[in-house]
Structure 1
Amino acid sequence: MQIREGLKPGDIGSIIHLHGTLYADEYGLDHTFEGYVAASMGEFAKAYDPKKDYWAVVEDQEEIAGAIAIVGCSDSVAQLRWFLVHPKLRGRGIGRRLLNDSINFCRQYKYKTVFLWTISELKTAAKLYQDVGFRLTEQKTHEIWGAVHTEERYDLLLECAGLTTL
């Protein structure tokens, strides 16, 4: 298992597939979620700039088994997106390492705020976010991706956050 930084051909398709299948199996999200991921990742791939955007994938036996991205929204704000680790690799600190590496990128770029959107069912991910200093700032419950879900926004203020990583 290794973590590779930098976007390469094939990464986007693999991560779209992983999101579609894992979130359908684990949380009951339908095909519209995969379409949402595909559209947003396609835009990211077209605009990807390694000077302001971060991309890392987990490779396990030559297969992509996880990812994380930072999308620069402005000179001071970034969005954390598409964070997932395949179940076969969970519980080994890989997600925490991906998250720490992405936050370190944000610090190096001098982003002031990093935000993300998730759904309330992703309890383990929410715990990781909170462990590194993200705070829940918004919730909205509505029908999305085939069921009623509560979307949650988390924000990390890097100017206020300590430099400690877990």
Structure 2
Amino acid sequence: MKDIQIRTHINPGDLGFVVYRHGVLYSEEYNYGVSFETYVGAGLYEFYKNFNPRLDSVWICELDNKIVGFLLLMHRENNAAQLRYFYFEPECRGMGLGNKLMQLFLDFAKECGYRSAYLWTTNELVAAHHLYKKFGFTLTEEKTSHEFGKPLVEQRYDLIL
């Protein structure tokens, strides 16, 4: 992990790469369709279009100048912070980066004065559920979905800060 750099600024190509890697990884690992990739693309467009450096942030993990992990905090109504597009390349999982980015996310959210944080995920991402619960998020909502090219359960996790 010592060789991994974390930056908080977006360079040209970063968002497109994150869309691409989400599409590839979630297809290979969970059999999600192209609709998932377009969902990520639309969300990243919304994030960048509404980006406010006092309220929003990204954490981009790089190893040898290659993106190997990503997380963003997006401001929402009611003084809430949304956690989105959290991913790591397979070779960088299990190194403690998830814990590091979650702590950076929560520290930034608290510095900004957010009252709550939330995220949406799916029932299939068991390792992610464990991490979210470890940091105090609780499952608050579930709904069946076919949004990503297959039947699944979307789940919302919330945290009061």
Scaled by the length of structure 2, the TM-score of the pair is: 0.95
Percent pairwise identity: 39
Residues 22-66 of structure 1: CA deviation (Å, up to 9, x unaligned): 000000000010011111101211221111001111111111111
**1:42 is aligned to 2:45:** yes
Q: Alignment partner for residue 65 of structure 2, among 48, 62, 68? A: 62
Distance across 2 between alignment mates of 1:15 and 1:88: 16
Residues 54-81 of structure 1: CA deviation (Å, up to 9, x unaligned): 1111111111111000101136111110
Structure 1, unaligned runs of 5 or more: 159-166
Counting only pairs closer than 5 Å after superposition, residues 1-166 of structure 1 correspond to structure 2 as: 1-74=4-77, 76-158=79-161
Structure 2, unaligned runs of 5 or more: none
DSSP 3-state at the match of 1:118: strand
Deviates more, 1:104-113 or 1:39-48: 39-48
Aligned length: 158
Q: Report deviation, 1:86.
A: 0.8
Deviates more, 1:11-20 or 1:68-77: 68-77
Match of 1:164 in 2: none
Structure 1 moving runs of 4+ over 6 Å: none
Residues 80-132 of structure 1: CA deviation (Å, up to 9, x unaligned): 10111111100000111111101110010010010100001001011000000
Q: Report deviation, 1:142.
A: 2.3
Distance across 2 between alignment mates of 1:101 and 1:12: 20
Are the equivalent residues in 2 in contact too, given 1:137–1:155 (CA < 8 A)?
yes
CA RMSD, 1 decimal: 1.0
Q: Report deviation, 1:11.
A: 1.2
Deviates more, 1:137-146 or 1:106-115: 137-146
